[in-house]
Amino acid sequence: MTPVRKAFCPPSRAGRPRSERSRRKILAAADTLLAEQGFAGTSVDAIAQAAGVSKATIYRWWPNKAAVVMEALLGAIEADFPASAGADAEEDLIARIRRTIALFRSPKGRILASLIGEAQFDPELAEAYRQRLLGPRRAGLRAALERAVAAGALRPGDLELAIDIVYGPLYARLLLGHAPLDDGFERDFPAIALAALRGCAGGATER
Amino acid sequence: MTPVRKAFCPPSRAGRPRSERSRRKILAAADTLLAEQGFAGTSVDAIAQAAGVSKATIYRWWPNKAAVVMEALLGAIEADFPASAGADAEEDLIARIRRTIALFRSPKGRILASLIGEAQFDPELAEAYRQRLLGPRRAGLRAALERAVAAGALRPGDLELAIDIVYGPLYARLLLGHAPLDDGFERDFPAIALAALRGCAGGATER
Amino acid sequence: MTPVRKAFCPPSRAGRPRSERSRRKILAAADTLLAEQGFAGTSVDAIAQAAGVSKATIYRWWPNKAAVVMEALLGAIEADFPASAGADAEEDLIARIRRTIALFRSPKGRILASLIGEAQFDPELAEAYRQRLLGPRRAGLRAALERAVAAGALRPGDLELAIDIVYGPLYARLLLGHAPLDDGFERDFPAIALAALRGCAGGATER
Amino acid sequence: MTPVRKAFCPPSRAGRPRSERSRRKILAAADTLLAEQGFAGTSVDAIAQAAGVSKATIYRWWPNKAAVVMEALLGAIEADFPASAGADAEEDLIARIRRTIALFRSPKGRILASLIGEAQFDPELAEAYRQRLLGPRRAGLRAALERAVAAGALRPGDLELAIDIVYGPLYARLLLGHAPLDDGFERDFPAIALAALRGCAGGATER
DNA sequence: GAATAAACGAGACGGTACGTCTCGTCTTATG
DNA sequence: CATAAGACGAGACGTACCGTCTCGTTTATTC
């Protein structure tokens, strides 16, 4: 007779529940403004106004502008993606590298760069970036590398370093701009990265 | 009555000459404040005050705060360094990599990161960074790579990509903080990077 | 040879001098907005915008909104006025009382009331009101009372109390609104106040 | 069909009755906070929290913060007091004046002043103050004055003005702070006020 | 005893003003 | 003419409080 279900409804707390609608409007507004104005040109006031929301509501749920932007961006970027079914390990690796390059080349790329730029001044934002965006992508790549090692396509080694060797050049070009992320890069880099991995993976620890 | 103008001093343009003393005081003050407060916590007003200099004097010689900071930093960092005389090409490569890691690990590392962070919002600063700091270091590494290729230690290939494979992971760790730049990294990474280069250098274009 | 004048020019300090134009525009804008919107409806942002001035400039010279309003009001109200030349002491007293009533009845009256209201929460504003507006008016009335005493029209006594008996009812009606400050009051009160003064002035201490 | 509503039991309506306990807790919390923080420093949120009550409960029963504060204050101040039995009219007058001075000198005085200050921006609060606090006190004083007139101690005249002459100086000192409400004032003012009344009462209308 | 109705706690919400901060430009008087 | 001092316009920031609202819960009266 006693209703059992209540015990299973932790989300039901006292007080007016958070407005999911506001949350979505805020993130949508942030996304739009970011696309139009970039990170620096997007003020919290503008987001609030565009979302038809009070500034206080934004600050109630996010500690600062960067956090909102981060979440807006995450809504527009799949943090990671599943391994291409049936593809062999190398193909999966290449696909992952290429998709990251494509992301960095897209309009989101500049926003990502802004966010990482801001993260240099905001440790919490940095942590959020690592947790929510970088982490999943690295995990995906790590799994792909493990499959490649298991398949004998790569020697075992320090996978974190291997990931850095793959992603490092992409981030460097995104953030430093010394060389373009262009068609040629998107075409050629994956194979070169794999070649590099073949040369080094495990080199430090193995033998 | 007018004393003979020091008409023969080459810097002699009309008016009071630029005060070299002010310039040095500004850069010194910037350096101190950066070390104490970081980039974001260092305001131009504070630099001016600490240097006993007018803000206008700063803006007369630098376009903005970032440029001052950049120059202050360059004064404290050798943009590049000569090849270790007599060392073989590989040793030189390793020394260069290691010195960059050491720089990133030092207190200057955070300031560098701040600067690159700020550069995401300031194209001129980004360009300055590339020209004055990144460029020389890349050039040094490029020359070392060329020597290695000439010595047969590496196959020829796209050297820009090769540089990215070496420096990219360093910048990634500096800016993303997902993994430490620690003793182990400083010890192991150079060899791994060389191994990677052996695997890839030119791999994409050669053959 | 030494220019002597410099010693007499204390206002000449280093740095860009305060913009008298901005100051005037701020006070004018405040005055206008007060007349249109009242004290509560006048925001600092609005004053800044109407004056074509940065908010920071306002806060550089006034500690808060109330202080600006106070000064704007003082510009529009003569803090005191000279004794009517040739008038006898009683006539001067009556004229002073009547002018204060007229002020309280005018549109400035409500603003004054707002200011005193705000002063209940801001000791510095209260002090400013006393110094700059209340003080001069009380001083004027005090002088008039002294003349009346000298002329034998009033007995000597505690003049501060006498002033309160004259001004107290005016402020009470302004601030409490329990009875109107209307034509009848403006007509009758001065004579009644004088009669009251004749009854009390010095009554407590004299004899 | 509809049964005769218990038309004669107004308090008995359907639904949960108002919690008298909440009401008391709210007023008590308001009183405490006012004493500690003053009016401006007392937020509705703080009252709600201190009372262990929802903000909505406050706003369900009072139109705004000022109204709560007013009621809290009224609970701590007798709006008026009966004539001292057997005392003669003048003694009653003096007692009333002195009790008002004592109230203004007490900690409640500052809160009263805050309330009047706030009332400059809130017509409903002003009206409430007049109705509930000022009115009764003025009525009491008016009755005492009428007794004094009837006893021949004062001449007839405009009693409202007479009340203002008595209370005006008190409010002026409370609200303007130009002179203290101190022991000397509490001792001397009543007699002076009476003397003033003897000089003026009815002066305008009599004869 | 069920249904209804209203008050309750918690707390999120829109609105709005506040006062602060830094940037990069400007306006003086001085050397 | 460069300089120190420092005021200026612009505009974002994050905070605070107000008074309203939306929940789920509690407590009465009414059927």
Q: CA D8 → C1' E1, Å?
A: 27
Q: What pLDDT is recorded for position D1?
A: 39
Amino acid at D88: D
CA dist D5 and A80 (Å) reads: 67
How many percent of chain B have pLDDT more than 90?
A: 53
What mean pLDDT comes out for the span B11-39?
A: 79
CB contact under 8 A, A161 and B189: yes
> How high is the pLDDT of residue C12?
60
Strand E near-CB residues (< 7 Å), C 3-32: 6, 12, 14-17
CB-CB under 8 Å, D177 with C130: yes
Q: What is the mean pLDDT of residues B48-67?
A: 91
Would you state the pLDDT for residue B79?
Answer: 67
Q: How far is the CA of C163 from the C1' of E23 (A)?
A: 53
- The DSSP annotation for A80-124 comes to --PPPTT--HHHHHHHHHHHHHHHHHSHHHHHHHHHHHHHTT-HH
Min Cα distance A84 → chain B (Å) is 24
Question: Regarding predicted confidence, which is higher, B93 or A84?
Answer: B93
Q: How far is the CA of D133 from the C1' of F29 (A)?
A: 37
Whole-number pLDDT of residue B76: 83
- Considering only residues A86 and C17, tell me which one the structure prediction assigns the higher pLDDT: C17
Query: How many pairs of residues across A and B have Cβ atoms under 8 Å apart?
Result: 156
Residue that is written with structure tokens 């620690």 in the block: B182
pLDDT of residue B1: 37
- Would you call B114 and A129 a contact, using CB atoms and an 8 Å cutoff? no
Pairwise pLDDT comparison (A75 vs B170), residue with the higher score: B170
Residue nearest to nucleotide E30 (CA to C1'): C14
Tokens found for residue C84: 């009517």
Other CB atoms within 10 Å distance of the CB of residue D124: 12
Portion of chain C with pLDDT greater than 90, in percent: 65
Chain B within 8 Å of A177 (Cβ-Cβ)? yes
Closest CA to B128 of B64, B43, B70: B70
pLDDT at A81: 78
At C205 the pLDDT is: 39
Chains B and D touch (3+ CB pairs under 8 A): no
CB-neighbour burial class of residue A150 (10 A; exposed 0-12, middle 13-18, buried 19+): exposed
Q: Phi then psi for A175, rounded to 5 degrees?
A: -90, -30
Q: What is the pLDDT of residue D76?
A: 85
CB of C76 less than 8 A from some CB of D: no
> CA-to-CA distance for C102 and C148, rounded, in angstroms?
23
Q: Are C193 and D197 in contact (CB under 8 A)?
A: no
Residues 114-133 of B with CB under 7 A from strand E: none
Pair D143, D80: CB distance under 8 Å = no
Measured from the CB, is A1 under 7 Å from any atom of strand E? Answer: no
What is the C-alpha separation between C58 and D20, in angstroms, rounded?
A: 49
Determine the pLDDT at residue B15: 59
Write the residue in A113, A135, A179 that is nearest to B160 by C-beta: A179
| Alpha-carbon separation of residue D191 from C142, C203, D187 (angstroms) | 21, 9, 8
- Range list of H helices, C64-182: 65-76, 89-105, 107-119, 123-129, 135-150, 159-176
Taking 90 as the threshold, does the pLDDT of residue A6 lie above it?
no
Which residue's CA shows the smallest distance to C1' of F9?
A: C54
| Rounded average pLDDT over A17-27 | 94
Packing angle of the helix pair B65-76, B20-37 (nearest 10 deg):
90
Neighbours of B28 (CB within 10 A): 16
- Whether C62 and chain D come into contact, CB under 8 Å, resolves to no
- Chain D contact present for C113, CB below 8 A: yes
Burial (Cβ within 10 Å: 0-12, 13-18, ≥19) of residue C144: buried
Q: Does A192 touch chain B (CB under 8 A)?
A: yes
Residue nearest to nucleotide F11 (CA to C1'): C54
Contacts A176 to B, Cβ<8 Å: 116, 126, 129-130, 134, 171
**Separate counts of helices (H) and strands (E) for chain D:** 10, 0
Q: Judge whether C83 is closer than 8 Å to chain D, CB to CB.
A: no
- What's the Å distance between residue B30 CA and nucleotide F26 C1'? 64
What's the mean pLDDT in D80-93?
81
Q: In sequence order, which residues have a C-beta less than 8 Å from that of residue B156 and are 6 or more positions away? A: B149, B201, B202, B206
Judged by CB atoms closer than 8 Å, whether chains meet at B204 and A196 is answered as: no
Q: Would you tell me which residues 129-148 of chain A have a C-beta closer than 8 angstroms to some C-beta of chain B?
A: 129-130, 134-135, 138
A and C make contact (3+ CB pairs below 8 Å): no
pLDDT at A192: 94
Give residue D5's pLDDT band: very low, low, confident or very high (50, 70, 90): very low
Name, of B24-38, B49-63, D46-60, the range with top average pLDDT: D46-60
Cβ separation of D130 and C177 shorter than 8 Å? Answer: yes
**What percent of chain A shows pLDDT beyond 70?**
89
Residue range D39-58, pLDDT digits in tens: 888 999 999 999 999 999 99
Q: Distance, in angstroms, between C63 CA and closest chain D CA?
A: 18
| All partners of chain D with 3 or more CB pairs under 8 angstroms | C
Q: Which of A90-99, B144-153, D2-11 has the lowest mean pLDDT?
A: D2-11
Whether the CB of B189 is below 8 Å from some CB of chain A: the reply is: yes
Residue among C135, C165, C179 whose CB faces D165 most closely: C165
With an 8 Å Cβ cutoff, are D204 and C188 in contact? yes
State, as a whole number of angstroms, the distance between the CA of C18 and the C1' of E27. Answer: 10
- pLDDT above 70: percentage of residues in chain D: 89
Calpha distance A164→B178 (Å, rounded): 10
pLDDT score at B14: 57
Q: Identify the pLDDT of residue B2.
A: 37
Interface contact A182, partner B, CB < 8 A: no
- Rg of chain D in Å (alpha carbons): 21
Q: Which of A68-82, B182-196, C173-187 bottoms out in mean pLDDT, i.e. has the lowest?
A: A68-82
Q: Answer yes or no: is pLDDT of D22 > 90.
A: yes
Task: Tell me how far apart the alpha carbons of residues A77 and D66 are, in angstroms, rounded to a whole number.
Answer: 50
